[in-house]
A and B are shown apart, each in its own frame.
Chain A
Amino acid sequence: MKPETISTIEVIITSVIRFWPVWAALAVSLTSGYFIRERLGTFGRLYGSPVGLAGLAIVLFWVFTALFADVIAVLGPLEQSFTGGMKKAPIGSIDSESGILFLWGADNLARDIFSRVVYGSRIVLIIAPAATLIAYMVGSTLGLPAGYYTGWIDTAMSFLANLVLAFPVILLFYLLVTPEVRIPTMYNFGLFEVPWSIPIGMAALFFLFPIIFLCLMWWTKYEKAPQKLMIRGGITLVIGLWLYVGLVFQSPIAPLSLDPNELNVFAAVVLGSSPGVFRIVRGLTMDIKTRDYVAAAQTRGERPWYIMLWEILPNARGPLIVDFCLRIGYTTILLGTLGFFGLGLQPESPDWGSMINHGRSFVRLTSTIHLALFPALALMTLVLGLNLLADGLREESLKD
């Protein structure tokens, strides 16, 4: 029995209305931002570029959607409707038993697509920036010495980076998906058990970098002030390692943990993005290292790592911010691609990539195209927004 549907116009209007918290938040943030734009630095200058402002608005749209997901979504992301005929229900269907409007239809397991897209934004907006951030830590920690020292260090690291870039990453992902590789084996050390697999190994390596990076920062800056160094270094190490054992080894003593699928995703994404960041940071380092203030730092006896982290990196932030925005976009797409290969998150996860993957088989019929269409639109708008934002930032930084 087919459920009742509402008309297309009503669907559109209701869609707009349902996002009311987001519109309100956008209005408040953008207008208040306008008044303090002088103090907002790079982001304040976006107000001079319509393109950049549009990008910012789109990105903020999804950020607020993620924040207000509980208010906007109608059902939970995993809730299924058991009313007959609700599987793959068309756009605008009303569940006859509960009376709930499935605004964008239902998927093949009778879950509300609208709610899943909304909750999916949370996952995308947490994983993509976090993975990009870790990729930045890895890329910077390797790119700075490569650009600063040049010589054999540079040759060796560039070779490694090129190797990773040249290697067909899809094959790597397939490798990571196979059960032998993916499922961890447990090693018993008496007091505790340590799971181990290739993805866990990779994650163990990559997640060390933020800790190393921060520790290097404190050590170089406070070398001559041991107290400050102790405090900052101590806090970083304690919190960092605590989170580390949780995220990487699923240790129960830590507050956060990732399930194996999420870990795989992180490992794969960071591996794929780091060489690109490495190259950019290396190039910027080689350019900035010729400036007089770097020579001034050298002549007062600063350590090379101090110069790299405190003299060179902060002054490279312009192009890096732009790249960061773009890279989040690429990572989001990558999450979708991984979802395709089954290397995504849990199969029932509402992240857009997985939704597109599951909806893939249904695109042939126009009556079921909505299973993949809405997550694809969401993905597309987010990446578009990030691109426009990056474009606007770059343009504004070049203008007077």
Chain B
Amino acid sequence: MDLGLSTDPNTPILEVEDLNISFYTRSGEIPAVMDFSMTVMPGETMGLVGESGCGKSTVSLGIMQYLGNNGQIKSGSIKFMGRDMSSFSREELRDIRGSKISMVYQEPMASLNPAMKIGRQLNEVLTLHEGLSEEEAAKRSASMLDAVRLPDPDRIMGAYPHQLSGGQQQRVVISMALLSKPQLLLLDEPTTALDVTVEAGIVELIQDLAREFGTSMIFVSHNLGLILETCDRITVMYSGEAVEEGDINTVFDNMRHPYTKGLLRSIPVPGADKYAKPLVAIPGQLPLPHERPVGCNFGPRCQHYDEEACNKGLVPMAEVGHRHWSRCARIDEIDWDADVAAGVIDEPIEVGDVVVSVEGLKKHYAVSSGMFGGGDTRTVKANENLSFNAREAETVAIVGESGCGKSTFAKVLMGLETATEGEVTLGNLDIAHLPVEKRDAKTVSSVQMVFQNPFDTLNPSMTIGDQIVRVLEQFEIGDSDADRENKMLELLDLVKLPREFARRMPRQLSGGQKQRIGIARAFAGRPKLVVADEPVSALDVSVQAAVTKLLTDIQRESRTTMLFISHDLGVVRYLSDRIVVMYLGRIMEQGKTEDIFAPPYHPYTEALLSAVPVADTHVKKRHVVLEGELPSPLTPLPGCPFQTRCQFAIPGKCDSQLPPAREMGEGHIIACHLEPETLKEMEPVIVVEDNVAAG
């Protein structure tokens, strides 16, 4: 059908003007997007950045006209290729969805129909939108699977979604979105659910496809480093409004809005060091929809806030340069080159004696494949021969992707599992074979954990105060109820939360506040060792900085050893003194942070460093992208576990013998067959230009 769309290269593919979207719920109208404008020209990739709750997903759903039962576009217009989208009829909308505008969502497993083979789902796009026959559609689908770099397209066409890995599924979803050669591709956090090295592959794919097919893209994400790598332009959103829009390099280097500046300053980048240039958190919290201020939404949290200028009424977007807009009332008055007030710069923490010593730790799980327990019993070797030390007041980071065994290791430390072999010595007690039921209260209180998901870490049916008091009771701390009540209030002070929170229920707290309670709980018994399992990865960027700072402050005061499990190398670089890199249950490299981030590298570390997106325009990264997927820990090959993806693999050696541990000096150990000289000659992956970040 003729849709009246313009293909003139000067007509924007998408033109959003003064868009207002509201949700109508039981408690009234909630404005989600206000006064939002954005223009995407053909062939451009626009990044949409903001924290959770800022409205970026609502915008992309609104573009698709897919707001659900209680969302409505109150006012404003969305023009797709020159034609106003509200003028499309239902049939016309169905026609363009999937063929002219496509969307890729966050969870690949949820986007694919689990009951249909991949081939059939792909063919559906073509038979529906272009009226092709099954055979022609199958041919096009197979060639598109090839274009997204999936090996063996024919096998994948005949497979079901659950038979593919996460990265493969997301590639399938991308190919499905690109099959009908759409003009506009919307990607809503497409790589958040994937591992870092897999994410790097997808990002590279998206860049190449954009060049090849000339598709315009809107890339929604909260990860500024990712946006820097993939997009041409960027729109920053805060609390439902666009606050800055412009070319990517302009915005990163010459930002003109305090929120953008605050965001960039609260993310750890390779040049940042926790002692010299600490992260600065944006104070305050996102306003609730009905508590938004009269004037600038960011006002209450902005250090340049001025009652006269900023709180008089809605602040409009003003042009500050060529295709660069900002919604700040005091653009001309603020000195954008001055650094953000950093506050107190701390002294480095003195590290003490060894507190935890891990020797040859092995954890194997027996998995039987038959029904009723019969059949072959195979072993999953989750941890193999782990050995390292951690000292008092030190932060050791354990880095690795899914399946590397870091969560299993955390479970062994906590006593939720017992080791198959090996020792973990805490003080003078071996806890590797001591399950938590058999540990006494003192031991239990000295090894505690901060969990990953703040939304699930607290019991939703108990008040905050009761939960903390229960922890104190279990650890046998305090002589009476009143005493414990006091200690609980002191813990709330420790994590900088108001004392009234003791009477609140978890659902009344935000994610960052809940995580603080999780931290309070872990530190309640003055532990010797705290295992933090990705404690900030589920939080918004601006809150991450505050919680990270809290952890370091508490650690400084209580001299606790922290074992920090993460895959976010930026935070790891910022926080940790030593790093242990794990892959498929084995330690690949360990050493001081500076040694890990500079050559010599283990080949896996090299790939990891290159895969992490960096939100700093002064950083140049060498590109090392790993082929293939993470192998299954069920059937490990003999020799080095990294052999399947390593670009330096030596046939005959790496596939038959375990790599030796090479001492590179000062506790830096690399497990690789390559000679130390070869390792020392490797080029650095991350190079910081100028001396901007180092000083």
Contacts and interface: CB of A to CB of B under 8 A. Distances in A.
Interface string B558-577: 00000000000000000000
Nearest to B480: A225
Contacts of B518: 296
A39 interface: no
B436 interface: yes
Interface stretch (A92-100, A167-175, A297-305): A297-305
B414 A299 contact: yes
A210 to B, nearest CB: 21
A296 B436 contact: no
Contacts of B70: 400
A315 B436 contact: no
B475 A400 contact: no
B497 to A, nearest CB: 18
Contact of B476 (A224, A291, A293, A400): A224
A291 B26 contact: no
Interface centre among B25, B452, B473, B476 (most CB of A within 10 A): B473
Contacts of A302: 474
A48 B28 CA distance: 13
A293 B458 contact: yes
A311 B457 CA distance: 12
B637 interface: no
Nearest to A293: B459
Nearest to A224: B473
Contacts of B635: none
Nearest to A45: B26
A296 B410 CA distance: 13
A107 B397 CA distance: 82
Interface in B107-132: none
A299 B448 contact: yes
B459 A315 contact: yes
A321 to B, nearest CB: 13
Given A296-B457, A314-B461, A301 B444 contact: yes
B451 interface: yes
Interface in B451-473: 451-453, 456-462, 471, 473
B416 interface: yes
B453 A225 contact: no
Contacts of A297: 459
B439 interface: yes
Given A224-B474, A400-B26, A300 B457 contact: no
Interface string B477-516: 0000000000000000000000000000000000000000
A146 to B, nearest CB: 18
Nearest to A300: B474
Contacts of A399: 26
B441 interface: yes
Contact of A301 (B25, B439, B457): B439
Interface size class of B (residues with CB under 8 A): 20 to 34
Please report whether the interface of chain A is mostly helix, strand, loop or mixed according to DSSP.
Answer: helix
B474 A292 contact: no
B436 A298 contact: yes
A300 B475 contact: yes
Contacts of B439: 301
27 contacts: A48-B26, A224-B476, A225-B473, A292-B452, A292-B457, A293-B456, A293-B457, A293-B458, A293-B459, A296-B521, A299-B416, A299-B436, A299-B448, A300-B444, A300-B445, A300-B448, A300-B474, A301-B436, A301-B474, A302-B474, A310-B459, A310-B462, A314-B459, A314-B462, A315-B460, A317-B461, A400-B26
Q: Which 8 A-B pairs have the closest CB atoms?
A: A314-B461, A292-B456, A301-B444, A292-B451, A299-B414, A292-B457, A293-B459, A400-B25
Contacts of B444: 299-301
Please report whether the interface of chain B is mostly helix, strand, loop or mixed according to DSSP.
Answer: loop
A295 interface: yes
A292 B453 contact: yes
Interface string B427-459: 000000000110101001100110111001111
B512 to A, nearest CB: 16
B461 A295 contact: no
B391 to A, nearest CB: 23
Interface in A274-323: 291-293, 295-302, 310-311, 314-315, 317
B415 interface: yes
A399 B439 CA distance: 44
A224 B440 CA distance: 13
A295 B451 CA distance: 9
Interface string A221-265: 000110000000000000000000000000000000000000000
Nearest to B455: A292
Nearest to A303: B437
Contacts of B451: 292, 295-296
A315 B416 contact: no
A299 B449 contact: yes
B290 to A, nearest CB: 14
B495 to A, nearest CB: 16
Interface string B241-272: 00000000000000000000000000000000
Contacts of B474: 224, 300-302
A300 B26 contact: no
A293 B453 CA distance: 10
A400 B473 CA distance: 36
Contacts of A224: 473-474, 476
A280 to B, nearest CB: 18
A48 B70 CA distance: 15
Contacts of A311: 459
Given A295-B451, A399-B26, A301 B437 contact: yes
Interface string B1-45: 000000000000000000000000110000000000000000000
A286 to B, nearest CB: 16
A395 to B, nearest CB: 12
Nearest to B481: A225
Contacts of A48: 26
Contact of B416 (A295, A314, A400): A295
A188 B406 CA distance: 66
A297 B444 CA distance: 11
Nearest to B447: A299
Interface string A338-368: 0000000000000000000000000000000
A315 B461 contact: yes
A153 to B, nearest CB: 16
Contacts of B471: 300
Contacts of A296: 449, 451, 457, 518, 521
Given A291-B456, A293-B457, A301-B474, 7 more contacts: A224-B473, A292-B451, A296-B518, A299-B415, A299-B416, A301-B444, A314-B461
Interface centre among B436, B459, B518 (most CB of A within 10 A): B459
Interface in B58-102: 70
Contacts of A314: 459, 461-462
Interface string A33-74: 000000000000000100000000000000000000000000
A49 to B, nearest CB: 10
A239 to B, nearest CB: 25
Nearest to A291: B456
A291 B457 CA distance: 8
A293 B475 CA distance: 17
Interface string A383-400: 000000000000000011
A77 B551 CA distance: 71
B232 to A, nearest CB: 37
A298 B444 CA distance: 10
A154 B180 CA distance: 51
A298 B25 contact: no
Contacts of B475: 300
Nearest to B436: A301
A293 B448 CA distance: 13
A315 B460 CA distance: 7
Nearest to B416: A298
Interface string B367-406: 0000000000000000000000000000000000000000
Contacts of B453: 292
Nearest to B441: A301
